[in-house]
Chain A
Amino acid sequence: MPQAIIRLPESQTEPLLAAYHIVLRERQRATWFGIALLLLCIGVASVMAEVNLAMLGRNILNFTNYIGRIFYLENNALVFTDFGEWFWGLKKWLLKIGDTLLIAYLGTLLGAIGAFCLCFAASANLATGGKSRFVFRRILEFFRTVPELVFALLFVVAFGLGPLPGVLAIMIHTFGALGKLFAEVVENIDMKPVEGAISSGGTRWQAIRFAVVPQVLSNFASYALLRFEINVRGASVMGFVGAGGIGQDLIEAVRKFYYSDVSAILVLLILTVMLIDLGTEKLRHSLLAREDGT
Chain B
Amino acid sequence: MSEEMVRTKIKSIFQATDTGKPRMDFFPDRAAVAQRHPGLMKPSHQSRIITTLVLGGMLALAVFAAYRLEFSFARLGAGLGQLKTFLGLMVPPSSGSYFPLFAKALGETIAIAFLGTLLAAFFAFPLGFFAARGALGNWLTRFFTRRFSDTIRGVDTLIWALIWINVVGLGPFAGVLAIMTSDIGSFTKLFSEAIEAVDRKQGEGVLSAGGTKLEVIRFGIIPQVLPVLLSQMLYYFESNTRSATIIGIVGAGGIGLHLSEMIRTYEWDRVSFIILMVLVTVAAIDWLSTRLRLKMAGAQ
Contact = CB atoms under 8 A, between A and B. Distances in A.
Given A55-B168, A147-B243, A201-B25, A270 B154 contact: yes
Interface stretch (A82-90, A102-110, A178-186): A102-110
Contacts of A233: 154, 156
B212 interface: no
B114 A41 contact: yes
B155 A266 contact: yes
Nearest to A147: B246
Q: Describe B's contact surface by its main secondary structure.
A: helix
What band does the interface of chain B fall in when counting residues whose beta carbon is under 8 Å from A? 35 or more
B26 A51 contact: no
Nearest to B175: A49
A103 B69 contact: yes
Contacts, number: 205
Contacts of A56: 167-168, 173, 177
Contacts of B243: 147
A52 interface: yes
A212 B251 CA distance: 47
B167 A99 contact: no
A203 B75 contact: no
A46 B292 CA distance: 23
A45 B111 contact: yes
B48 interface: no
Interface stretch (B36-44, B57-65, B200-208): B57-65
A48 B111 contact: yes
A202 B111 CA distance: 55
A62 interface: yes
Given A49-B172, A149-B246, A109 B62 contact: yes
A204 interface: yes
A88 B13 CA distance: 66
A237 B14 CA distance: 46
Contacts of B138: none
Nearest to B14: A204
Interface of A: 41-42, 44-46, 48-52, 55-56, 59-60, 62-63, 66-67, 99, 102-103, 105-106, 109, 124-128, 142, 145-147, 149-150, 153-155, 157-160, 162-165, 167, 187, 191, 194-195, 198-204, 206, 233-234, 236-237, 240-241, 244, 250-251, 254, 266, 269-270, 273-274
9 contacts: A49-B115, A49-B253, A52-B168, A124-B3, A125-B10, A146-B279, A150-B275, A237-B156, A269-B154
The 6 tightest CB contacts between A and B, nearest first, are: A201-B26, A159-B79, A45-B111, A201-B23, A270-B154, A48-B111
Given A103-B65, A125-B7, A274-B150, 9 more contacts: A49-B173, A50-B172, A145-B279, A147-B245, A147-B246, A158-B80, A199-B26, A201-B24, A273-B154
